[in-house]
Amino acid sequence: MSDPATPQDLRPAGSLLPVMEAFGTVQGEGAFTGQAAWFIRLGGCDVGCTWCDVKESWDVSAHPVRSVDDLVAEALEQPARIAVITGGEPAMHELGPLTHALRAAGFRTHIETSGAHPLSGEWHWICFSPKKFRAPLPDIYDRADELKVIVYNRHDLDWAGEHAARVRPGCLL
């Protein structure tokens, strides 16, 4: 006989997420530079970029699990109405409940992803940032609104051009 389920076990997938940090700031890069944004940095990443500035986000078990309800309530306490979901690699998680709740609360939902995992949730803006360490899935190219490539050396420019050629027309480079 199995152990009885705990209340946490009975919650829908994605209603609890490992959160490294959540904070308000001004978006500092890309198409929404200069706009107020609420960032939710999720724990967990299996891409392994050597230059990563948040390697402490990689271990999913190192971050407290928070409910979608708590995350949205916290976001509503500040003025920004753009919610940027980042990581780590946020697409490792089921994001449907989070994006649904944020949108219902009046937020634009943005994600920053390597494209290495299937994308769940409803997004107003997808910033696709492919990495050499783990190939992106093919369907991200047609969904990306913005392509962000980290250029570390001269060869990365050619690699960036290969990805730029694959994104949909209208994707910002």
- CA quadruple 133, 142, 152, 43: dihedral positive or negative? negative
Is residue 163's pLDDT more than 90? yes
AA identity, residue 93: H
Specify the pLDDT at position 11.
58
pLDDT value of residue 53: 83
Q: For the chain, where are the E strands, in sequence order?
A: 16-26, 36-42, 65-67, 82-86, 108-113, 125-128, 146-147
What is residue 2's predicted lDDT score, i.e. its pLDDT?
42
pLDDT of 1 higher than 80: no
The residue among 105, 164, 92 whose CA lies nearest residue 130 is 164
- State residue 52's pLDDT score: 80
Residues 148-153, mean pLDDT to the nearest whole number: 90
Hey, is 73 helix, strand or coil? Answer: helix
Q: Is the pLDDT of residue 63 over 70?
A: yes
Query: pLDDT tens, 8-33?
Result: 554 567 899 999 999 999 999 999 99
Q: Which residues does 108 contact at the CB level (< 8 Å), separation at least 6? A: 81, 82, 83, 124, 125
Tokens of 102: 């944020």
Ordered structural domains, the chain, with CATH: 12-164 (3.20.20.70)
pLDDT at 3 over 90: no
Whole-structure pTM value: 0.91
C-alpha 93/C-alpha 18 separation (Å) is: 9
- Residue with the bigger pLDDT between 168 and 6: it is 168
